[in-house]
């Protein structure tokens, strides 16, 4: 049973209004955030705060991203229904669920086993048919490549070369690149000749992307 009370639905509508005030314009993004029950993606201890525009701890030292960050990244992806999107950093599964609700075929990879185990069970239980993988997102998911879009939801020290190779020509990667003690949100558009166009979209905060393969838990 999916628990989604009138109060939670009301709080969700208020969150959507807040995101609009903060500058999110894409209707399909706002609609998806209006539909996905964020309270089911976080620890029940935080449930009553689920529709505040804040990140929360999800275990293993990781966080569910702030709704404004999820909305911004989803908008910057400029998706069309039916596109194939690869997400690096499944975490709670909330971002993946929002993309799924936008009509996207979502592939998502997570590096921490505990989170992969939990979220790969939760998503289908809630009706989100996202393909989940356990492994190092720096290497992408070559089996299902190429992707129309790639979204990275952890702070990346560099743009992983291998990931660019899994992006279709004309495809867009949305990546928070660590610069000092925060992340600069960047879009990287791959041209037909393989060259890239990089644009910046403001400053955000992310947990760092895990680098060392030996760190695998
Ligand atoms: N998209 C998530 C955000 C989670 S925070 C959500 O909506 O909840 C970032 C996530 O990226 C964490 O779960 C972290 O474990 C994961 N991560 C960090 N480095 C990674 C890597 N190299 N490959 C795959 N996942 C990684």
CATH (domain of 16): 3.40.50.150
List 5, 28, 44, 65, catalytic entry = 65
DSSP alpha helix (H) spans, the chain: 6-21, 27-35, 67-76, 94-101, 113-125, 161-165
Ligand 1 centroid to residue 211 C-alpha, Å: 11
Residue 212 lies in a domain: no
Domain that holds residue 31: 6-204
Interaxial angle between packed helices 6-21 and 67-76, expressed in degrees from 0 to 180 and rounded to the nearest 10: 60
The answer to whether 155 touches 207, Cβ cutoff 8 Å, is yes
Residue 209 lies in a domain: no
Residue 216 lies in a domain: no
- pTM given for the model: 0.96
Question: Which pLDDT belongs to residue 180?
Answer: 94
- 25 alpha carbon, distance to own chain's centre: 18
Under the phi-then-psi rule, with left for phi > 0, alpha for psi from -120 to 50, and beta for the rest, what region is 116? Answer: alpha
Residue 211 lies in a domain: no
Residue 214 lies in a domain: no
Ligand 1 centroid to residue 160 C-alpha, Å: 15
Q: Is 10 exposed, middle or buried (0-12, 13-18, 19+ CB in 10 A)?
A: exposed
Ligand 1 centroid to residue 16 C-alpha, Å: 24
Tokens 């309270």, residue located: 39
Nearest to 159 by CA among 188, 125, 124, 116: 188
Which residue among 154, 183, 211, 217 has the greatest number of ligand 1 atoms within 8 angstroms of its CB, and so is best to mutate? 154
| DSSP code at position 213 | G
Tokens 């004309």, residue located: 170
Question: Which pLDDT belongs to residue 2?
Answer: 78
Strand pairing partners for 217?
none
Q: Point out the residues of the chain with pLDDT beneath 70.
A: 212-217
Question: Which pLDDT belongs to residue 216?
Answer: 47
Protein residue with its CA nearest to atom 23 in ligand 1: 137
Nearest to 216 by CA among 92, 107, 60, 108: 60
Question: Which pLDDT belongs to residue 217?
Answer: 43
Question: Which pLDDT belongs to residue 157?
Answer: 94
Residue 110 lies in a domain: yes
Question: Which pLDDT belongs to residue 93?
Answer: 98
**Could you tell me if the CB of 111 is within 6 A of ligand 1?**
yes
Protein residue with its CA nearest to atom 4 in ligand 1: 91
The domain tally of the chain equals 1
Residue 176 lies in a domain: yes
Question: Which pLDDT belongs to residue 211?
Answer: 81
Which residue among 55, 59, 64, 89 has the greatest number of ligand 1 atoms within 8 angstroms of its CB, and so is best to mutate? 89
Question: Which pLDDT belongs to residue 70?
Answer: 98
Question: Which pLDDT belongs to residue 10?
Answer: 97
C-alpha 50/C-alpha 72 separation (Å) is 18
Nearest to 109 by CA among 87, 84, 77: 87
């Amino acid at each position: 049973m999916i628990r989604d009370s009138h109060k939670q639905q009301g709080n969700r509508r208020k969150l959507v209004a807040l995101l609009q005030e903060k500058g999110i314009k894409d209707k399909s993004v706002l609609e998806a955030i209006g539909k996905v029950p964020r309270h089911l993606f976080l620890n029940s201890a935080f449930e009553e705060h689920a529709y505040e525009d804040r990140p929360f701890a999800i275990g293993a030292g990781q966080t569910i991203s702030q709704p404004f960050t999820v909305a911004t990244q989803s908008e910057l992806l400029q998706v069309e229904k039916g596109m194939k999107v690869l997400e690096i950093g499944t975490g709670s599964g909330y971002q993946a669920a929002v993309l799924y609700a936008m009509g996207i075929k979502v592939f998502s990879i997570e590096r921490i086993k505990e989170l992969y185990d939990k979220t790969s069970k939760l998503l289908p239980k809630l009706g989100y048919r996202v393909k989940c993988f356990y492994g190092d997102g720096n290497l992408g998911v070559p089996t299902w490549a190429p992707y129309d879009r790639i979204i990275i939801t952890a702070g990346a020290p560099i743009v992983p070369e291998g990931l660019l190779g899994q992006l279709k020509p004309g495809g867009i990667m949305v990546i928070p690149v660590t610069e000092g003690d925060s992340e600069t949100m960047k879009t990287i558009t791959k041209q037909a000749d393989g060259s890239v166009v990089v644009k910046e979209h403001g400053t955000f905060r992310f947990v760092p992307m895990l680098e060392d393969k030996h760190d695998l838990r």
